[in-house]
Chain A
């Protein structure tokens, strides 16, 4: 197999997929929803009981980005994968010198590009909003205790990168689930299930367990281990001494993203090759 030719096929599939995305309403709807959610976070300031207002807005804004980004990653991956299968155009694509692996990787590349655009735009809106409320570009809180530190522009950008990595992992996992599913609805629901478990893993570990938890803990622990822990990508609560210290958890998150996405992507290719369309 010619790697240059393969890569060209992947890019071609990705480009065609992005063209298809530009005709869909859902990504634009999710983008507007996220922007609305970020701006609407200011209405929830009365629910803040313990954090500085700027930190509260930053947290909530990042939550909105993560939520809408995750929804885009799951629905986008499932719809774009099944779109061609349901419309039968996949036969035409695969009849050309495009392998199944190239088809899956092309779809994944397109979703990654879409998520990158989404992350850049929403993070920019959040940064502008917080800048209007008095946020600085660099950290000016190094002397403050962790509880009183405020967000800064560079920190938000690094956290935005972490969110993009998270959505990339979620997208790869949804593509894997799609190769096992018979339709886009099933893949989407499974993707959302994975998203919920991934986000709640840490809270599940923090919840007190019953009097004889050994067996339950083992079974639950093994199940959780097979699913990605999306908490790795959340740098929001990292008690870093400076924004520069965010690079370490971000590098770890990037390593985890490559590992999770690599494993899920390889399995998706393997599964799709054995699947009847």
Chain B
């Protein structure tokens, strides 16, 4: 009997020691890292598991249950943090849908309780930004995450400064959409920083590919001219379009 008890105790002690050393070797992730979406213990079924959790989040979303939706979203990105769609759509649910649910009615709530609605919008906006902070830790090179941050800062927090900074950060990343750089300039203009906007656009324009509609090089040039007129830039110091410009398909390379 004593021998059996000794075997059990020895087994537990050895397994605990092995587990401790193995975690040192493998690098034990902290709870914050897990919350940030780094989860890797579900085997190759993580994708399928995350897809089903995403559907579960959608059911809670349809029932307008904020807490259940957030919980399901957290589990979804914990199961598989790779798909950007989970992060971006999750942020939109938190920022744009949940203030309306929390207000309790969908029939033009802004007309009845404008202050409360605005407060809820800001609260949910902050939660969505925290959610996107986690997304940025997982996807530091994804422009879409910073564009979504900028959109939420603009629409929920009405923070032009923060939104401009995030559009800029997105525009500086490889494979960023061209509109991120244009929106950065537009927000600088709205903030009254027209010289800065002009400098940014003048830096951007020569890097835009020819013949790519998304790059909207003509629109950028028109904006440059408007800003030059508004700022009263003398003709000799005005922006001149360079002869050689980039071909379609190449990034901005700011």
Which A residues fall within an 8 A CB radius of B? Answer: 44, 47-51, 55-56, 58-67, 143, 145-147, 176, 180, 198-203, 205-208, 222, 224-232, 234, 236-239, 252-253, 255-256, 259-260, 262-264, 266-267, 270-271, 274
Contacts and interface: CB of A to CB of B under 8 A. Distances in A.
B31 to A, nearest CB: 6
Contacts, number: 184
Contacts of B11: 176, 180, 267, 271
Contacts of A262: 18
Interface residues of B, number: 55
B100 interface: no
Contacts of A55: 47, 82
Interface in B108-148: 138-139, 141-142
A253 B14 CA distance: 19
11 contacts: A47-B51, A200-B41, A202-B34, A203-B75, A205-B31, A229-B19, A237-B80, A239-B82, A259-B21, A266-B14, A274-B3
Contacts of A225: 16, 19-20, 23
Nearest to B37: A206
B32 to A, nearest CB: 11
Interface of B: 3-4, 7, 10-12, 14-23, 25-27, 29, 31, 34-35, 39-48, 50-52, 54, 71, 74-75, 78-86, 138-139, 141-142, 174-175
Q: 8 tightest A-B contacts by CB? A: A50-B83, A231-B41, A63-B44, A202-B41, A62-B44, A63-B45, A206-B78, A263-B18
A252 B39 contact: no
A234 B42 contact: yes
B230 to A, nearest CB: 37
A203 B42 contact: yes
B85 A236 contact: no
Contact of B19 (A56, A208, A228, A234): A228
A222 B175 contact: no
Given A47-B48, A202-B34, A267-B14, A232 B22 contact: yes
A48 B82 CA distance: 12
A64 B18 CA distance: 28
A274 B3 CA distance: 8
A146 B44 contact: no
Main secondary structure of the interface of A (DSSP, over half): helix
Contact of A49 (B18, B46, B51): B51
Given A206-B35, A226-B16, A260-B18, A60 B47 contact: yes
A231 B43 CA distance: 7
Nearest to B26: A232
A202 B42 contact: yes
B86 A230 contact: no
Contact of B74 (A206, A237, A259): A206
A232 B12 CA distance: 21
Contacts of B4: 274
B25 A61 contact: no
Nearest to A169: B22
A119 to B, nearest CB: 13
Nearest to A217: B31
A32 B195 CA distance: 69
A253 B39 CA distance: 16
Contacts of A238: 40
A234 B80 CA distance: 12
A202 B40 contact: yes
A253 B19 CA distance: 13
Contacts of B3: 274
Given A205-B34, A252-B25, A59 B47 contact: yes
A267 B246 CA distance: 67
